[in-house]
Copies of this chain bind each other. A is one copy, B any other.
Amino acid sequence: MTSPFPDRLARAIATKNSRVCVGLDPRPEMLPPPFADGVNGLEDVVGFCCNIVDATAEYAACVKPQAAYFEALAPDGLAAMWQVIEYAHRQDLVVILDAKRNDIGSTAQAYASASFGMHWRGSIAQADAVTVNPYLGCDGVEPFLEVADELHGGVFVLVKTSNPSSGELQDLDSGAGKVYEVVAGLVKEWGASRVGECGYSSVGAVVGATYPRQLAELRELMPQSVFLVPGYGAQGGGAEDVAAAFDDDGLGAIVNSSRGIIYAYRETGGDFQKAAAEAARAMRDDLNAVIV
């Protein structure tokens, strides 16, 4: 990983002609027949995730493992996640670890090392980028930026999340603008010295598809930040809702879908890999249709 994260991501988007991010949310109760209920434990979960990676790699630019689901499996569940990340890299996918970590000082440094996969007792794999929560301010984010800089990695800061109650704090309006606008200002500032050849910085923003007006506004406020957009599909956002996130070259955003892809077989029936591939292909085409 020697080129900056935004350039690696731009290359993946161009190569695949896809803005799709496949969310890897392994929930034991939703696994398809070959892995039903994960009777073989973590092995089944890793197997399922790797099968999803195989099925969707052609149609997706990146994958987003969700740390919560791996942590919930077992005390050593994160080890399974790192196996999946290692596998996804071998299939040439960009990996964004969704862990939303946050703390300060040396504790934030520890989270940053852990999130990027740089463990003290050796590393199974590296994440290309990680998500962080900005509630603690600069002290909480800068340690992640420093580790990202060393590893040519990226950081996606939660700005405006996709959930119904995201406005409770994020929309509070101060003299300096709404909270999410203040965060957007920080993201812009953090990214200013970290811009790759593609014109985007290594400091991205999480902006929900479920708030299209705010998404368009945030695009203006953070012209050099890649958007990681949750909320497409199952949460109700459509391709038109995210269209404003893309530039004229079709860069600037990746859109995540988790259960809509990986558990598509539950709606369609049939083989889970075929169902996932078809859902990823359809989402790719749906998004490409709104690119100017």
Contact = CB atoms under 8 A, between A and B. Distances in A.
Interface size class of A (residues with CB under 8 A): 35 or more
Interface string A158-181: 100111111111101111100100
Contacts of A103: 66, 68, 100
Contacts of A140: 163, 165
A19 to B, nearest CB: 22
Nearest to A124: B75
A161 B101 CA distance: 15
Contacts of A78: 71, 75-78
Contacts of A137: 163, 165-170
Contact of A134 (B105, B135, B164, B186): B135
A93 interface: no
* This chain's copy number in the assembly: 2
Interface stretch (A48-56, A110-118, A192-200, A217-225): A110-118
A175 B173 CA distance: 7
A25 B166 contact: no
Given A78-B75, A79-B75, A100-B102, A165 B138 contact: yes
Given A82-B75, A134-B135, A136-B163, A68 B120 contact: no
Interface of A: 25, 27-28, 38, 41-42, 66, 68-69, 71-79, 81-82, 100-108, 110-111, 113-114, 119-122, 124, 133-140, 158, 161-170, 172-176, 179, 182-183, 186
